[in-house]
Amino acid sequence: MQTATVAELKSAIDSGRATVIDVREPYEFDSGHVPGAINIPMATIPVRLSELPTGADLHIVCESGARSWQVCAFLDRHGLAATNVEGGTGMWRMNGLPLEAGVPTR
């Protein structure tokens, strides 16, 4: 499984290479998330695999990196490459990086 720091994620976003999937619950996502992230809660990933973009540079994020790690492991078992963002949204926030709030989920 690949991992990335929040600085590496920011760089990937800035270069247009990253598709960010936030696997937190909608209320967590609505309170603040990585700009441009798509909310697909962890519990729904198995039934929503077809919604994940193929050929994209998927970066999976949660609050701390634990749920996203589990999702990355699941995706890997299903033949989808994904990068776990270490420290998640909490680390993103602690590094003073910008957050969006209130954007609808998918």
* CB 32, CB 62: distance < 8 Å: no
Query: Does residue 62 carry a catalytic annotation?
Result: yes
Q: Give the Cβ contact number of residue 89 at 10 Å.
A: 26
Write out the two tokens for 89. 């949204």
The catalytic position among 18, 20, 45, 62 is 62
Cite the active site residues: 62
